[in-house]
């Protein structure tokens, strides 16, 4: 079965629909919980929503399975901020709108990396008076560099689960991890693979 086979495209479309159903069920369950209990679902919701975003952006056009990096990162960040109740004024995004596309596998891995990395920075920004988190995305040839940082001085530590899962997504992307132990900067740099089908 080739990557451009309509059966495979339909499969991806149905997966996207299933993610939307799961995300809706989580959101419904969250509404039934008290404010204190809602945090119990946050980690799961962040990951499901991030995968759902990847499939939704992929299927924005049924002609190809590739993802605009700009759309992917923007929508994942919007979703994570919405889950956290974070106002958009607390996040700054530096990213070129120049069209760079990723295949579905790298898109999902990058979405999940963001779901792990960004929430602790959102929480830090929301807990400080006037602090702001920043996401910087840059391109050099076929390499993508993504940095999550903040306008504070010290590093943001990830808990055990986020650290372990983050290591897995870094390996999946075959990425070089970027980290400054004395500053809040954390991120990755990796070679963008050609999309499953369609143009790069």
In a domain, 167, yes or no: yes
Q: Give me the pLDDT at residue 118, please.
A: 95
Q: Give me the pLDDT at residue 130, please.
A: 75
In a domain, 199, yes or no: no
In a domain, 63, yes or no: yes
Q: Give me the pLDDT at residue 200, please.
A: 38
Q: Which domain holds residue 150?
A: 6-191
Q: Give me the pLDDT at residue 41, please.
A: 77
Q: Nearest CA to 148 among 102, 105, 103, 184?
A: 184
d(CA 98, CA 120): 28
User: What's the number of domains the chain is made of?
Assistant: 1
Q: How many alpha carbons fall within 13 Å on the CB side of residue 95?
A: 24
In a domain, 196, yes or no: no
The series of mean pLDDT values per 10 residues for the chain, 200 residues long, is 56 68 74 72 84 76 69 93 91 85 88 94 88 93 94 90 91 93 92 60
In a domain, 74, yes or no: yes
Which residue(s) pair with 52 in the sheet?
A: none
Q: What is the CATH number of the domain that holds 152?
A: 3.30.565.10
d(CA 144, CA 63): 24
Which residues have a Cβ under 8 Å from the Cβ of 70 and sit 6 or more positions away? 95, 96, 97, 98, 99, 100
Q: Give me the pLDDT at residue 8, please.
A: 58
């Amino acid at each position: 079965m080739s990557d451009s086979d309509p059966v495979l495209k339909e499969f991806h479309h149905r997966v996207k629909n299933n993610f939307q159903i799961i995300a809706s069920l989580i959101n419904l369950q969250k509404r039934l919980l008290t404010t204190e209990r809602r945090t119990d679902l946050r980690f799961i919701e962040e990951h499901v929503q991030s995968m759902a975003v990847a499939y939704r952006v992929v299927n924005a056009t049924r002609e190809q399975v590739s993802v605009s990096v700009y759309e992917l990162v923007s929508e994942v960040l919007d979703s994570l901020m919405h889950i956290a109740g974070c106002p958009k004024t607390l996040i700054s995004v530096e990213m070129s709108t120049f069209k760079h596309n990723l295949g579905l596998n790298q898109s999902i891995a990058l979405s999940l990396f963001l779901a792990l990395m960004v929430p602790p920075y959102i929480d830090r920004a929301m807990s400080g008076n006037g602090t702001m988190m920043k996401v910087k995305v840059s391109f050099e040839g076929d390499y993508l560099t993504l940095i999550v940082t903040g306008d504070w001085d010290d590093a943001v530590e990830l808990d055990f689960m986020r650290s372990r899962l983050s290591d897995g997504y870094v390996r999946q992307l075959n990425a070089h991890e970027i980290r400054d132990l004395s500053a809040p900067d954390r991120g990755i740099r990796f070679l963008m693979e050609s999309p499953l089908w369609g143009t790069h």
